Amino acid sequence: MRVALIDAGGANLGSVRYALDRLGVEPELTTDADVIRAADRVILPGVSTAAQVMGGLRASALVDVLRTLEKPLLGVCVGMQILFEHSEEDDTPCLGLLPGRVAKLPATPGIRVPHMGWNTLASRRESLLTRDIADGRHAYFVHSYAAPVTADCVASSEHGVPFAAIVQRGNVGGAQFHPERSADVGARLLENFLKYGVQ
């Protein structure tokens, strides 16, 4: 299996790569459109800002490549956020593969932003991405912005307000949490993506 790991400037590239290595998969770190199109699975990580990740994709001429990609695509953290139409972070137009706008998490008494740490996943609907991940399991989050809970939300979490933790529409999926830091839950999500794609 050929797995393309897109280098869009995210700080978690190494840890995502190591997580895939643990599953017996050696991904190809790339910004090459032909490599991405030829891959069986494509992963878009991102730990920075929506504007920086989109800037990296534009600089590598990958925006239209991802918008027209027919292979399964998984966005992680900011990589998931930019699957949506727009992010409030730096007022950034995104890929538009999923409808909706990413908004800043509201800071309220007792609720700190950024949201950092383990939090509960609440199942919203069935998806092969979450096969064998039971409702109420925990995943590790680090983020200040979040996607809305829409019909594309497979699992949600809550930090002051509900937000999308796992999303899926067609061949496009995403995880707001860090699979590479979420122990067996994260490993299972990646295994499901590798085995089933996004459906």
Report the distance separating Cα 93 and Cα 37, nearest Å.
23
Question: Would you say 11 and 48 are in contact if contact means Cβ atoms under 8 Å apart?
Answer: yes
Active-site pick, 28, 89, 180, 191:
180
* Amino acid letter for position 56: G
Q: Is 77 a catalytic residue?
A: yes
Scored b (16 or more CB within 10 A) or e, 126-162 reads ebbbbeebeeebebbbebebbbbbeebbbbbbebbee
Q: Can you tell me the distance from the alpha carbon of 189 to that of 108, in angstroms, rounded to the nearest whole number?
A: 31
Strand partners, 138: 120
Task: Identify which of 12, 150, 138 has the alpha carbon closest to the alpha carbon of residue 27.
Answer: 12
Selected catalytic residue, list 126, 138, 178, 191? 178
Q: Tell me how many degrees the CA angle 41-27-65 measures, rounded to the nearest 5.
A: 45
Query: What is the C-alpha separation between 173 and 145, in angstroms, rounded?
Result: 18
Q: Are strands 161-169 and 172-175 parallel, antiparallel or unpaired?
A: antiparallel
From the candidates 77, 89, 115, 153, give the one annotated as an active-site residue: 77
Active site residue 178: yes
User: Which residues have a catalytic role annotated?
Assistant: 77, 178, 180
